């Protein structure tokens, strides 16, 4: 039977102090009823990860890293490896547009991170998406095809069941408040289909149907269910709206009741 599990993943980006993160955990533990068939993942900065891993109700929540390095250890000043993180996180974001654009992350960096995560047992959440000019020029499908193919270059067909892909149109990502440009349901449906087809072409039908695809970009309590109900969408990657425990809990509780 097809896996019906849905995913709601919080990407806190560079927000929240250690104290704020721990307080959030206390509050969200109380606010959220045990989600059925929904995997809730919080990706804080590295700073509070170990504390959060101790405090969080592991039956309700999982943790994720926003970034990591592909080598296990060595002379890489300032980096933290997937290998070092694997005891604290179950998920890891890879290739978020912030990293591609602001930190010049290349296709090769991204492919290496995907492979490193799978190797150590972290589920990578690959972020792909076009910018506004690319959409206006009709290049969305090509961009998605190229980003997906490049990122998966070091993976096998079996590995695909251990990864997730998030479609995040860059122009729809909010400035941090969860309210930005709305990507229409048709756009999201088409993009998600392109992502699935690309994986199908590369790895076959079985890999295509096991693939989990999320949507990310200005999702909030008002539009979350709408996005989650789009054909082919298995969940959400939530930025701004995940920083407030009430709005994040609202998204989770709405999805749980639907």
Give how far Cα 21 sits from Cα of 15, 68, 88, 247, Å.
9, 20, 15, 15
Which residue reads 């269910």 in tokens? 225
Mark whether 96 is an active-site residue.
yes
Give how far Cα 20 sits from Cα of 3, 45, 59, 245, Å.
35, 12, 22, 11
Q: Is 237 in the site for ligand PGA (CB under 6 A)?
A: yes
Segment near ligand PGA (CB under 6 A); pick from 34-42, 151-159, 210-218, 248-256:
210-218
Q: If DSSP codes are grouped into helix, strand and coil, which group holds residue 162? A: helix
Binder of ligand PGA out of 238, 249, 252, 255 (CB under 6 A): 238
Segment near ligand PGA (CB under 6 A); pick from 34-42, 77-85, 188-196, 214-222:
214-222
Q: Is 140 in the site for ligand PGA (CB under 6 A)?
A: no
Say if CB 225 and CB 214 are below 8 A apart: no
Binder of ligand PGA out of 109, 168, 208, 234 (CB under 6 A): 168
d(CA 85, CA 100) in angstroms, rounded, equals: 21
Angular region, 168: left φ>0, alpha ψ -120 to 50, beta rest: beta
Site map 98..137 versus ligand PGA, x via CB under 6 A:
----------------------------------------
Binder of ligand PGA out of 21, 66, 147, 218 (CB under 6 A): 218
In the complex, minimum distance from the CB of residue 194 to ligand PGA, in angstroms, rounded to a whole number: 19
No. of helices (H) and no. of strands (E), the chain: 11, 8
Q: Which two tokens mark 44?
A: 């804080």
In the complex, minimum distance from the CB of residue 57 to ligand PGA, in angstroms, rounded to a whole number: 24
For binding to ligand PGA (CB under 6 A), which residues are involved? 11, 168, 173-174, 178, 180, 216-219, 237-241
Which residues participate in catalysis according to the annotation?
A: 96, 168
């Amino acid at each position: 039977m097809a896996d019906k599990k849905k995913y709601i993943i919080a990407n806190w980006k560079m927000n929240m102090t250690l104290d704020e993160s721990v307080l959030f955990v206390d509050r969200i533990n109380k606010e959220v009823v045990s989600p059925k068939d929904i995997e809730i993942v919080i990706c804080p900065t590295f700073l509070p990860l170990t504390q959060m891993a101790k405090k969080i109700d592991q039956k309700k929540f999982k943790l994720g890293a926003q970034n990591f390095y592909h080598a296990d250890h060595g002379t890489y000043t300032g980096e933290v490896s997937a290998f070092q993180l694997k005891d604290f996180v179950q998920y890891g974001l890879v290739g978020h547009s912030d990293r591609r654009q602001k930190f010049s992350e290349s296709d090769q960096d991204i492919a290496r991170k995907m492979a490193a995560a799978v190797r150590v047992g972290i589920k990578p959440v690959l972020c792909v998406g076009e910018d506004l000019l690319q959409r206006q020029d009709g290049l969305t499908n090509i961009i998605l095809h190229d980003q997906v193919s490049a990122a998966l270059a070091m993976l096998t067909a079996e590995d695909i069941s251990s990864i997730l892909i998030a479609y995040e149109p860059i122009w729809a990502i909010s400035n941090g408040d969860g309210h930005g440009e709305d990507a229409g349901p048709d756009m999201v449906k088409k993009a998600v289909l392109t992502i699935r087809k690309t994986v199908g072409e590369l790895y076959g039908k079985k890999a295509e149907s096991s693939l989990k695809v999320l949507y990310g970009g200005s999702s909030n309590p008002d539009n979350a269910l709408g996005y989650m109900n789009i054909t082919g969408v298995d969940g959400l990657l939530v930025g701004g709206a995940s920083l407030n425990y009430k709005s994040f809990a609202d998204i989770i509780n709405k999805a749980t009741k639907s």
